[in-house]
Structure 1
């Protein structure tokens, strides 16, 4: 399996409901690297690297989200792998 990078924008009620921690937990369980952070427009951005099949598994989880989230849309843009990250983190900026 070759590694890839994905830029994911999650829209809906995804801020203030534990969504970033949900993403971080699932990404780490899958052994993916990258980050998640809130955007000023109320959406959440996820940048993730790893095996495409594992990222697709993460995307399935992102569409569900944690208990109090309401995900309206998940948009994915695929990019070449960069090897930029050592782990997966929540960014607070």
Structure 2
């Protein structure tokens, strides 16, 4: 699939104060995605990524993989159409 989509992802586990957002940003930029990664008040990290469906799936696989900083215990995502777009991939 090459259509552009938005994946909104919530990552659970020990993912704050371990460089997780920076690591996610680096992987997203390597893949060519736009969006952001943001800490949530409940300890999760929210990742919003826009790009091709296949590229978003690549990021999801990395988020679920063994090489993330900290310790990921779960990843939940929803898919939607792209929004107004993002100029790059930010840390919020």
TM-score range normalised by the length of the shorter chain: over 0.9
CA root-mean-square deviation: 1.0
| Unmatched tracts of structure 2, length 5 or more | none
Deviation at 1:82, TM superposition (A): 1.9
Q: Name 1:60's counterpart in structure 2.
A: 61
Moved over 6 A (4+): none
TM-score scaled by length of structure 2: 0.93
Q: How does 1:22-61 map to 2 (within 5 A)?
A: 22-61=23-62
Q: Which residue number corresponds to residue 84 of structure 1?
A: 85
Q: TM-score, normalised by structure 1?
A: 0.92
Number of matched pairs: 90
Question: Aligned equivalents of 1:2 and 1:43: distance in 2?
Answer: 28
Consecutive unaligned residues in structure 1, runs of 5 or more: none
Counterpart CA distance in 1 for 2:20 and 2:78 is 20
CA contact 1:18–1:66 (8 Å) conserved in 2: no
